Structure 1
Amino acid sequence: MGQISVEGVGKAYKKYSSRFGRLIEWVSPFKVVKHSKVWVLNNINFTVRPGEAVGIIGINGAGKSTLLKLITGTIQPTVGKITLNGRVAALLELGMGFHPDFTGRQNVYMSGQLLGLNNSDIDRLMPEIESFAEIGEYIDQPVRVYSSGMQMRLAFSVATAVRPDILIVDEALSVGDAYFQHKSFDRIRKFRSEGTTLLIVSHDKIAIQSICDRAILLNAGKVEKEGEPEIIMDYYNAMLAEKSGSALTVKQEMTKSGQMQTVSGSGDAKISSITLCSHEDKSIEMVSVGDSVTLKIVVKIEKDIPELVLGYMIKDRLGQPMFGINTYHLGKTLKDLRVGQEVEFEFKFNMNLGEGNYSVAVALHDRDTHINKNYEWRDLALVFNVVNVNKNTFVGVSWLPVEVKINER
């Protein structure tokens, strides 16, 4: 079983004030220092236990790729210690290690040997590698003629030809067609069920929340936050708005039901109440599949604002989005609101969701997204349950009424 241990790890690069500084350091018989250190990672500590899946997220420049290169040994830490137990397969950069003038088949043999496989192992695995990569006759063409998607297909196929104890994946899987992404994640899920330890870097919220047990948020080279994927992704989403200068506060607080709620925004407009109502206009917390409901949201204006858009997102119990919309896309943007005003929004729809527990996140902002000006973003603003009372038995997260016609011949 694979385990990753990162203890007090930091990575610094030397920065010279002039192009001659490095040369002076090299040739001087004295200990002349002509550089300063720029720390891209500082005091990173975490452990990925055997069989656990951990996602690493963060804005560009947070240090994610540098951390993965340290873990895989591509570069060495300035301080700290990294320990890996088990056979490691890593996908950091598309086709990293592939020689552009060699054919795909030749590169498979070279890459396989770097993974500890001998030629007889690769001979045995080659049909499966070719089948999974699905690049056809290009397997015998030089890699330089491959598209980025083809390189990713072949690199992933080689790296996962034998189930590793530890699988490390960077953003490489975001390249390529949707079909192969689904195929790749199916293989990752299979490995997970068989005990592979997974460390994955991705901006894909759904991937992190559906695969990972835990998430780590990197910010400015340090661990900003660590915890359940939904909580970390909610915080990350709020932090993006803060980075753009549209949010003044980001906080997380415990709800009465014991769930961690993320709230962010400038406070120029606030949510006063949110209610899910039945077709009889009664407040409900449980609704039957397919029933007509109305989501009522009351907003109080705390400061004069030129534009107001309200959006909501329905999420499942894992925090994955089921449906989202806002008044900008519905053509219902409000203009020139004054302090002290109250506005009630009513969204009427049929609850065509499968059985389960769901939550509603609400956002108040201008234009089409909260990244512009975030007045208030509130996750877990409302929690409700969907039950199946009078519909045919079905599986899945969506209720899609069907009619069936059978013609016997």
Structure 2
Amino acid sequence: MGKVTVKGLGKAYKSYNGRWARLAEWLIPFAKPRHQLHWVLQGIDFELEAGEAVGIVGINGAGKSTLLKLIAGTTQCTVGTIDIRGRVAALLELGMGFHPDFTGRQNAIMAGQLQGLRGDEIASLMPAIEAFAEIGEYIDQPVRTYSSGMQMRLAFSVATASRPDVLIVDEALSVGDAYFQHKSFERIREFRRSGTTLLIVSHDRYAIQTICDRAILLNRGRLEMQGDPVEVMDFYNAMLAEREQQTVRQERLEDGRLRTISGTGEASIVSVNLLDDEGKKLDVIEVGAYATLEIRVAINVAIPRLVMGYMIKDKLGQSIFGINTHRLEMPQTDLVADEELVYRCRFPVNLGKGSYSVAISLSRLDSHLDTNYEWRDYSVIFHVINTQHPDFVGCAFLDAEMAVERSYGYARKIEVTA
């Protein structure tokens, strides 16, 4: 079983003022250093238990790929230690380690050898590699003739042909088509069920939240936060929207969930309530019943344009439905300080049984990434029950009608509808 322990990890690169400074340092080894250290990672500490799945997120340049390379052993750390137990398979940069003039088959054999597989093991796995990659006759063509998607198919097939103890996956999967992405993530889930330890870098919120037990947020080379994937991704999304004078804070709710609030504060959310048609607050609602989401907003300083949006999420943090006043062509313009707006959004709760939350966004345009006045997760939490409809599965209630037609030879026909 794979286990990974990282302690005090740091990685720095030497930066010289010019090529002559580098040459002088080589020629005069005992003189004072002529370089400066540029740290890309510092003070990284975490553990991956056997069978655990951990996602790593962060903006570009945060050090995610460098961290994976250090753990995979393709780059050496400057300080700290990495202890890995078990066989490691890594899918890092697209086509990393592939020779463009060799065929896919030849590259697969070399990649298998680099993973520590014997020749007979690679030969026995080759049919499975070909079948999973689904690149047909291209397996015997030079890799330089491959598209980026074909390279990714072959690289992933080779890396996962034999179940590793530790699987490391960078963003390479993002270049594949939707069919192969689903196929790849299903293989990852199978490995997880079999006990493989997973370390994955992805900007896909739903991949992180559905596959991973824990998430790690890197910021400027340091570990900013780690914990529940939903809470970490909420904080990460708030960081993406960060602008000058914008605040990002988190507060613990009564049920233990961590709410993330961010924004410039030029407009702010006063209250959010889910109401029935009589104006009473709802915590529990029947499948298919109507509810009204009421949002009160205060304008603190004059702003030229305001867009309010809401997003309904399930208990895993996956988006179920979202809409805003920009897409409805209802933005409010030329707002002045001390104004108050009340939004009322009425909709049928055609959702499956379970717990849901509502996130609210106040922004200037369609996305809260452009002038985020306020973003608030877990503004409302409600539960959906089903006592009046047939018991169904899934996250959406379609109230479908069904007809059954039965025939006896060519003489009689009976039709039953429900």
Normalised by the size of structure 2, how large is the TM-score?
A: 0.95
1:70 aligns with: 70
1:178 aligns with: 178
Q: Distance in 1 between matches of 2:134 and 2:390?
A: 39
2:357 aligns with: 359
Q: Distance in 1 between matches of 2:152 and 2:304?
A: 47
1:317 aligns with: 315
Aligned residue runs from structure 1 range 38-49, under 5 A: 38-49=38-49
Q: Distance in 2 between matches of 1:342 and 1:175?
A: 45
Q: How far apart are residue 281 of structure 1 and its match? A: 3.3
Give 2:13's aligned amino acid.
Y
DSSP 3-state at the match of 1:33: coil
Q: Distance in 2 between matches of 1:399 and 1:130?
A: 41
1:396 aligns with 2:391: no
Give 2:360's aligned amino acid.
V
Aligned residue runs from structure 1 range 192-211, under 5 A: 192-211=192-211
Q: How far apart are residue 29 of structure 1 and its match? A: 5.5
1:305 aligns with: 303
2:330 aligns with: 332
Aligned residue runs from structure 1 range 10-409, under 5 A: 10-28=10-28, 30-242=30-242, 244-245=243-244, 248-409=246-407
Q: Greater CA deviation, 309-318 or 121-130?
A: 121-130
1:9 aligns with 2:9: yes
**Residues 41-99 of structure 1: CA deviation (Å, up to 9, x unaligned):** 11111111111111100000001111111111111011110111001010001121111
Do the aligned residues in 2 keep the contact of 1:24 with 1:32 (CA within 8 Å)?
Answer: no
Q: Distance in 1 between matches of 2:46 and 2:8?
A: 9
Q: Distance in 2 between matches of 1:167 and 1:23?
A: 40
Give 2:338's aligned amino acid.
G
- The change in CA–CA distance for 1:29 and 1:251 in structure 2 (over 3 A counts) is closer
Q: How far apart are residue 406 of structure 1 and its match? A: 3.0
Q: Distance in 1 between matches of 2:324 and 2:132?
A: 40
| Number of residue-to-residue matches in the alignment | 407
**Residues 253-279 of structure 1: CA deviation (Å, up to 9, x unaligned):** 112222211111111111111111223
Q: Distance in 2 between matches of 1:257 and 1:32?
A: 58
Do the aligned residues in 2 keep the contact of 1:94 with 1:172 (CA within 8 Å)?
Answer: yes
**Residues 184-226 of structure 1: CA deviation (Å, up to 9, x unaligned):** 1111111111111000001110000111111111001000111
DSSP 3-state at the match of 1:359: strand
Q: Distance in 2 between matches of 1:119 and 1:33?
A: 47
DSSP 3-state at the match of 1:44: strand
Give 2:370's aligned amino acid.
N
Q: Distance in 2 between matches of 1:335 and 1:395?
A: 43
Give 1:230's aligned amino acid.
V
Question: 5+ unaligned residues in a row in structure 2: which ranges?
Answer: 408-418
Q: Distance in 2 between matches of 1:322 and 1:332?
A: 22
Normalised by the size of structure 1, how large is the TM-score?
A: 0.97
Q: How far apart are residue 117 of structure 1 and its match? A: 1.2
Give 2:211's aligned amino acid.
I
Q: Distance in 2 between matches of 1:293 and 1:249?
A: 32
**Residues 368-402 of structure 1: CA deviation (Å, up to 9, x unaligned):** 11111111111111000011121112111111222
Do the aligned residues in 2 keep the contact of 1:149 with 1:177 (CA within 8 Å)?
Answer: yes
Q: Greater CA deviation, 254-263 or 2-11?
A: 254-263
2:412 aligns with: none
Q: Greater CA deviation, 8-17 or 114-123?
A: 114-123
Aligned CA RMSD, in angstroms, stands at 1.2
DSSP 3-state at the match of 1:182: helix
Q: Distance in 2 between matches of 1:41 and 1:302?
A: 40
Q: Distance in 1 between matches of 2:29 and 2:91?
A: 43
Do the aligned residues in 2 keep the contact of 1:164 with 1:196 (CA within 8 Å)?
Answer: yes
Give 1:228's aligned amino acid.
D
Q: Distance in 2 between matches of 1:228 and 1:29?
A: 48
DSSP 3-state at the match of 1:406: strand
Q: Distance in 1 between matches of 2:371 and 2:122?
A: 54
**Residues 218-253 of structure 1: CA deviation (Å, up to 9, x unaligned):** 0010001111111111111111111x43x6110011
Q: Distance in 2 between matches of 1:406 and 1:146?
A: 49
Q: Quick one: percent identity of the two aligned structures?
A: 60
**Residues 98-153 of structure 1: CA deviation (Å, up to 9, x unaligned):** 11111111111111111111121122111111111111111111111111111111
Question: 5+ unaligned residues in a row in structure 1: which ranges?
Answer: none
Q: Greater CA deviation, 307-316 or 280-289?
A: 280-289
DSSP 3-state at the match of 1:105: helix
Q: Distance in 1 between matches of 2:293 and 2:272?
A: 7
